[in-house]
Amino acid sequence: MPDQSAHWNAVYESKAPTSVSWYQAYPKASLKAIDLIGAQDQPFLDVGGGASDLAAVLLERGWRDLTVLDISDAALAVQAQRLGDRAQEVVRIAANITEWVPPRAYGIWHDRAVFHFLTNAADRAAYVAALRVGVRPDGHVILATFAPDGPETCSGLPVRRYSAEGLAQELGDAFTLLHHWREVHQTPGGAEQPFTWAVFQRR
Ligand SMILES: C[S@@+](CC[C@H](N)C(=O)[O-])C[C@H]1O[C@@H](n2cnc3c(N)ncnc32)[C@H](O)[C@@H]1O
């Protein structure tokens, strides 16, 4: 994949975080996944977390070991601004997930609407290689991508669309599919976007 940081920086520098198509007032489906896992305060990595409020909500729930990774510096700056006084409680990493080598293993790896941008098989293989290093044994992976009948593009970029079984194939034998469901996201502009949510556990 060509480095797309310029694309994403331009998005976060030109649009209000509440106006992008993936904006949600509350990260309901992510919390559903976390509650299904029954997780409390585990080392948590939000891959492509952007300006999402998920880290803020987890801080409110008492979580303490939170990392947000994003290809866009601008996204991370917006996120820090939204966190305000609590910004220093979250680790922010500017990196392309297909080039990043996790320095540690997390209890939960969360990705809402990032994996689906990896249209190139080599990038998906690199992502899964990072997953194998970055998720501890028995740790969990929460993945959300556009569903098979979802949009063909996101933020003007082409995406691949997945069923839960398709995601399980991509992750391979090292991860067991525990839960999956369909969510129809309402964009701020009023469009409907079907998502596949899937929760995996590392074997
Ligand atoms: C559709 S947005 C979703 C943001 C956030 N996960 C949410 O649910 O609000 C995709 C995010 O992934 C980031 N991103 C895209 N490609 C990436 C990559 N290869 N590595 C890391 N982050 C990436 C973008 O900068 C953007 O913040």
Rounded Cα gap, residues 22 and 120, in angstroms: 22
97 lines ligand 1 (CB under 6 A): yes
Residue with tokens 């969360």, as numbered in its chain: 110
27 lines ligand 1 (CB under 6 A): no
3 pLDDT higher than 70: no
For the chain, the average pLDDT equals 97
What's the distance, Cα to Cα, between the start and end of the chain in Å? 29
94 pLDDT higher than 50: yes
pLDDT of 1: 45
58 lines ligand 1 (CB under 6 A): no
Q: Return the closest-CA partner of residue 88 out of 110, 111, 55, 61.
A: 55
- Residue 96 backbone zone (phi > 0: left; psi -120 to 50: alpha; other: beta): beta
What the chain holds in terms of domains, given with CATH numbers, is: 5-202 (3.40.50.150)
Q: Return the closest-CA partner of residue 202 out of 131, 110, 139.
A: 139
CA of 114 to the centre of ligand 1 (A): 5
Tell me how far CA of residue 32 lies from CA of 66, 114, 118, 165, 174, in angstroms.
18, 19, 25, 20, 23
* Ligand 1 atom having least distance to the Cα of 27: 8
* Ligand 1 atom having least distance to the Cα of 97: 20
CA of 82 to the centre of ligand 1 (A): 17
73 pLDDT higher than 50: yes
43 lines ligand 1 (CB under 6 A): no
User: Region 90-107: what's the mean pLDDT?
Assistant: 98
Give the pLDDT confidence of 152-190 residue by residue, as tens digits.
999 999 999 999 999 999 999 999 999 999 999 999 999
68 lines ligand 1 (CB under 6 A): no
114 lines ligand 1 (CB under 6 A): yes
